[in-house]
């Protein structure tokens, strides 16, 4: 993995984690099942799984 690819991957990961924290804060510190599914799908696409 190149340095550029690694940087892009880290940036995407931070964005997903930021969204997860915001969603949790809006829902009283937990993530709804549908929101968790969406985040899991984003992570899967990001990692190529």
* Per-residue pLDDT tens over the stretch 1-49: 899 999 998 998 888 888 888 887 877 777 778 878 888 888 788 777 5
- Looking at the structure of the chain, the number of domains it has is 1
**Per this entry, what is the length of the chain?**
49
Beta carbons within 8 Å of 14's beta carbon, 6+ residues apart: none
6-31: burial string, b at 16+ Cβ within 10 Å, e else: eeeeeeeeeebeeebeebeeeeeeeb
Boundaries of domain holding 7: 3-47
What is d(CA 12, CA 9) in angstroms, rounded to the nearest whole number?
A: 5
What was the pLDDT predicted at 49? 55
């Amino acid at each position: 993995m190149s340095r550029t690819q690694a940087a892009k991957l880290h940036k995407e990961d931070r964005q997903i984690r930021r969204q997860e924290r915001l969603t949790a804060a809006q829902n009283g510190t937990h993530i709804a099942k549908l929101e968790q599914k969406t985040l899991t799908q984003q992570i899967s696409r990001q990692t190529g799984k």
